Amino acid sequence: MADHVQRQIAGPQVLGRIVVYGLLVLLALYYLMPLFVMLSTSVKTLDDIRGGNLIALPAEVTFEAWAKAWSSACTGVDCSGLRGNFWNSVSFVVPAVLISTLIGAFNGYVLTMWRFRGSDAMFTLLMIGCFIPFQVVLLPMAQTLGVLGIANSTSGLIFVHVVYGLAFTTLFFRNFYVSVPDELAKAARIDGAGFFRIFWRIILPLSPPIIVVCVIWQFTQIWNDFLFGVVFSSGERQPITVALNNLVNTSTGVKEYNVDMAAAIIAALPTLFIYVVAGKYFVRGLTAGAVKG
Amino acid sequence: MQSSASAQAGAVASAVAPRRSLLDIIELALPRIVLGPTLLVSVVFVYGFILWTGWLSFTESRMLPRYEFAGLVQYISLFGNDRWWVAVRNLAVFSSLFIFVCLAFGLLMAILLDQRIRAEGFLRSIYLYPMALSFIVTGTAWKWILNPGLGFERVVQQLGFSNFTFDWLVNPKMSIYAVVIAGAWQSSGFVLALFLAGLRGIDESIIKAAQVDGASMPRIYWSIIIPSLRPVFFSAFIILAHIAIKSFDLVMALTGGGPGFSSDLPATFMYAFGFTRNQIGLGAASAMMMMMTVAAVVVPLMYSELRRQRRG
Amino acid sequence: MKQSTARLTLTALTLATTLAFSAFSRAGEVEVLHWWTSGGEAKSVAELKKILEAKGHKWKDFAVAGGGGENAMTVLKSRVVSGKPPTAAQVKGPSIQEWGREGVLTNLDDVAKGANWDGLLPAVVSNVMKYQGHYVAVPVNVHRVNWMWVNPEVFKKAGAKIPTTWQEFAVAADKIHKAGFIAVAHGGQPWQDATVFESVALGVGGADWYNRAFVNLDTSALNSPTMEKSFATLRTVQKSIDKDAANRDWNLATAMVINGKAAMQFMGDWAKGEFTAAGKSPGKDYICMPAPGTKGAFTFNIDSFIMFEQKSADAREAQRALASSIMEPQFQEVFNLNKGSIPARTGMSMAKFDQCAKDSSAEFESSAKSKKLVPSWAHGMAMPASVQGAMFDVVTQFMNSNMTPKAAAAKMAAAAKSK
């Protein structure tokens, strides 16, 4: 941890510390409340939910809702829960994250150490492009995928996610590599090392913090995506977000809130896990300069 | 050792007439070759599609695209549409509030967390985890919490404050603010991470010098630390603006655009008209308006900031 | 584990069956897009899947929930644009003709002639299923929308009379409110607002005016005193709705009637499924009545599947099997028993159906004769989606602001011009 030179606003005074901790705890409550609500609802029985209120603790804890959400809830004609969709999501998220990160790394490398005329303009163009709302691209993308022959397939979905993730991965890597001193690459070039060699031997070993940031970000974005998933996949290959939507937004029947909440948490488990476990690497990577400017 | 060998090689190379081999040419072109696919993809799948949408906004496309030119008819129709103006107003209100609240909360929490807190990692996880959730999950949870009859209002009333009302979610005038609450909850953790990283990267010596000069901590924060976080403000703003403009899932899950269409945003407007109402031409016009507004705000900002970085 | 063994067995059986029948028919795959994802509806669609698989074809489910079909329509358009449309999709009303115009639908006349669809379907139904005289879609059911669902207990406790006109409604609602109950259970979503308004308008203006306004989109009928009166009546209904109604799902509103918290709900006959699932019986625990002023009139909403042109012969074979299975009595009966609607196919025995369905069936035929059979515009049966959406906006805005009935009527006329 960096050597903090008495930078605290409130020094050793007790009142100051109380204020700081107090604020932090209050904020923590605001952030935790929905999670608490979701968790406690998912272990209540339906009668308990109807009778009590949101914040009340469960009268009895039951994991039936979880079992149902995982393996027997109806997401269409098939009533086999979220289990299959979970693995569907994994099957396209992992390749998409890896491919977009790799390409982003190369792009960042080129944009900082192999600059050529117009490369900065290209970067700006790329950045502006990331503001395009995804609803706009649905139809033309569908048409393009059809022409390319990969419509309605996992490779098509991976392709779409890679295409629209490139702007961010490039941003992350470029901002990180900007702070790598030029002398390193220059010295290597004089020594006769080429493009790939410099990348492999010098740049890549420096990159773990930013790779972590990039992977976490991309994984979260792609895993949580709904729009591309629902439009470019179908049937048994639907991702977990689509199955969750089918489960939660059904239009008839008794609303099983406990199953809905359990399903929502299941859908969020991988990303939650990553943030809880790798959160500090995320911050570390950001400190190392992911988005310095 | 290597340098002497390559110095010799270099000497040899320069002694011989500098002939460009095929490998050299490829090597020179490599940066362009590497960046090429990304650029191609960006040109086709982003700008190409924007142009396609632009073309459609000048046609009379209804259910599926049609390509005959039809003039400004869709734009005229758009500007005469009550719901569109509600959406535009909502976007202005929502984005400014959302960005402001996220920046404020993020900065506040970062400063607090930076105060040598015990359990910093634990607290940070708590503030950061909402980012991991998809908007459907967030919308579902908050829809319930903000529901007057079932959620927060009911809890407080049961605690004894029977006159307490918190019906923002179902009040046409306040529904967009309910969306801000849920949106800020989801995204301020990320801003916190950015600011915390920024704070940790500040040079200690400047602060030491100011303290020696007798400045108080709040003043140091105000005049030195916060201004030096300018690049972080910029990055955070860009990312938050991007989230605000694309806010679609959150609104759909939380309010469905309602009550009525009081919490409609251009993204949901475009979706409803383009896909549900078989008015793709009108949807395309609204998308073009949305993107032009974004460009008008973001492009000058990015340009000035990038220029500043180049100079500074 | 058990499931995959079952699937393996089923696949083996299917394979064996298809091999056995390969001389007569080829086994294809049908991909069906729908948004019937909840327990009850899913069961109904599962029936169709069973029937089809018994015939040796495979069913590929393609369920997309959300917004009563909003997401599904987005997905459908993308699939069609990409050149790989599904076998069938849940589309109804004038949208069927809009799809037909795009030239992507297949011609089902051969199946229709073989099974005499023209003879089995009333003209008002079969016309919607055709494009330029050829069958392109198959009807699954007929819903009646202008129902009022009543909890007689609540009325008794409040000492109110179940209304048959809108004047009586105002009186009854007042009594119910004074007794501490909610008069009208409602969910403040645009389509629900429109559903209530549609019944109000029909009750106030009658079938003739309804057709002129909402089917012919006649400006003089739209911007008229009758329309103003309809909106004024809607205001009265609105006063009887509780303040938490915004964005409430319709089935939660039905639950309020079932639990005795509210007295009545204006909703189509799919609400009956909720009563049945809660173990309530018609006539005793709940009463189904036509909405005030609409006795003898029938607002219909027909769910149907459109069929897309398929490239391979196997797929076409399976599609034909799907189309004919939907019209068969076996499926029509099972599906409608589960869903709360009545079969689209006439001449079926209604013995297994409950009293509300029997009433519905009888009124369906009588209203056709008395020219009081009208399409539900709130459910996409009367006008293009763009006009319907614009009218939704007017109605929902009226419910969420203090718009005057006069202004609302003018806006309805303007909405009719939406393209």
Highest mean pLDDT among C48-52, C209-213, C241-245: C209-213
List the structure tokens of A216.
């976490």
Q: Which residues of B102-117 are buried (b: 16+ CB within 10 A; e: fewer)?
A: bbebbbbbbbbbbbeb
Instruction: Considering only the beta carbons, identify the residue of B77, B167, B260 that sits closest to C399.
Output: B260
Q: What is the dihedral of CA A225, A226, A232, A238, to 10 degrees?
A: 100
pLDDT (mean) for A227-241: 86
The span from the CA of B94 to the CA of B101, in Å, is: 10
B136 touches chain A (CB under 8 A): yes
Q: Residue C1 class from Cβ within 10 Å (0-12 exposed, 13-18 middle, 19+ buried)?
A: exposed
At B99, which amino acid appears?
A: I
| Cβ-contact B269, B83 below 8 angstroms | yes
| Cβ-contact B285, B75 below 8 angstroms | yes
More confident residue, C361 or A253: C361
Q: Assess whether pLDDT exceeds 80 at residue C356.
A: yes
At A32, which amino acid appears?
A: L
DSSP state for residue C263 in the 8-state scheme = E
> What percentage of residues in chain B have a pLDDT greater than 90?
16
Matching residue, tokens 């009586």:
C168
Q: Assess whether pLDDT exceeds 70 at residue B11.
A: no
Q: What is the pLDDT of residues C83-123, one digit of tens each?
A: 889 999 999 889 999 899 988 999 999 999 988 999 888 88
The span from the CA of B300 to the CA of B292, in Å, is: 12
pLDDT score for C16: 47
Q: Assess whether pLDDT exceeds 80 at residue B143.
A: yes
The span from the CA of C85 to the CA of C106, in Å, is: 11
Closest chain A residue to B302, measured at CA: A124
Q: Which residues of A21-39 are buried (b: 16+ CB within 10 A; e: fewer)?
A: beebeebeeebebbbebbe
pLDDT score for C307: 94
B112 touches chain A (CB under 8 A): yes
From chain B, the residues in CB contact with A115 under 8 A are: 31
The span from the CA of A197 to the CA of B311, in Å, is: 31
> What percentage of residues in chain A have a pLDDT greater than 70?
90
Q: What is the pLDDT of residues C190-218, one digit of tens each?
A: 899 999 999 999 999 999 999 999 999 99
The span from the CA of A285 to the CA of A287, in Å, is: 5
**Smallest Cα distance from B34 to chain C, Å:** 30
From chain C, the residues in CB contact with B149 under 8 A are: 244
Residue ranges of the alpha helices (H) in chain B?
A: 2-15, 22-42, 49-56, 73-79, 82-113, 120-128, 135-145, 152-158, 175-200, 204-212, 217-220, 226-228, 230-246, 249-254, 266-271, 280-311
The span from the CA of B51 to the CA of C150, in Å, is: 55
Cross-strand partners of C182: C262
Instruction: Considering only the beta carbons, identify the residue of A33, A122, A261 that sits closest to B39.
Output: A122
Neighbours of chain B (3+ CB pairs under 8 A): A, C
Is the peptide bond between A140 and the residue preceding it cis, with omega within 30 degrees of 0? Answer: no
pLDDT band for C8, please (50, 70, 90 cuts).
low
CA distances from A157 to A101, C51, C70, C72, C294 (A): 16, 33, 21, 18, 50
Tell if the CB–CB gap between C389 and B60 is shorter than 8 Å: no
Q: What are phi and psi of A196, to 5 degrees?
A: -70, -35
**Smallest Cα distance from B67 to chain C, Å:** 14
Matching residue, tokens 């409130």:
A10
Residues of A with CB under 8 A from a CB of C: 74-80, 138-139, 141-143, 145-147, 151-152, 230-232, 234-236, 242, 245-255
Q: Which residues of chain B from 177 to 206 reach within 8 Å of chain C, CB to CB?
A: none
pLDDT score for A77: 77
Q: Which residues of chain B from 266 to 305 reach within 8 Å of chain A, CB to CB?
A: 267, 270-271, 274-275, 280, 283-284, 287, 290-291, 294-295, 298-299, 302-303, 305
Q: What are phi and psi of B180, to 5 degrees?
A: -60, -40
DSSP string, A208-266: HHHHHHHHHHHHHHHHT--HHHHHH--GGG--HHHHHHHHHT--SS---HHHHHHHHHH
pLDDT band for B61, please (50, 70, 90 cuts).
confident
Residue ranges of the alpha helices (H) in chain A?
A: 14-42, 46-51, 64-71, 83-113, 119-129, 134-148, 154-177, 182-190, 195-198, 204-206, 208-223, 227-232, 240-248, 257-287
| Cβ-contact C29, A65 below 8 angstroms | no
Residues comprising chain A, all counted: 293
Q: What is the pLDDT of residues A117-136, one digit of tens each?
A: 888 888 888 888 777 888 88
pLDDT score for C346: 84
Single pTM value for the model:
0.83
Tell if the CB–CB gap between A275 and B126 is shorter than 8 Å: no
CA distances from C250 to A203, A212, C187 (A): 58, 45, 6
Q: What is the dihedral of CA A47, A51, A53, A55, to 10 degrees?
A: -50
pLDDT (mean) for A216-240: 88
pLDDT score for B312: 44
pLDDT score for B19: 58
Q: Are strands C58-63 and C298-301 parallel, antiparallel or unpaired?
A: unpaired
Q: What is the pLDDT of residues A279-292, one digit of tens each?
A: 778 877 776 665 54
pLDDT score for A1: 41
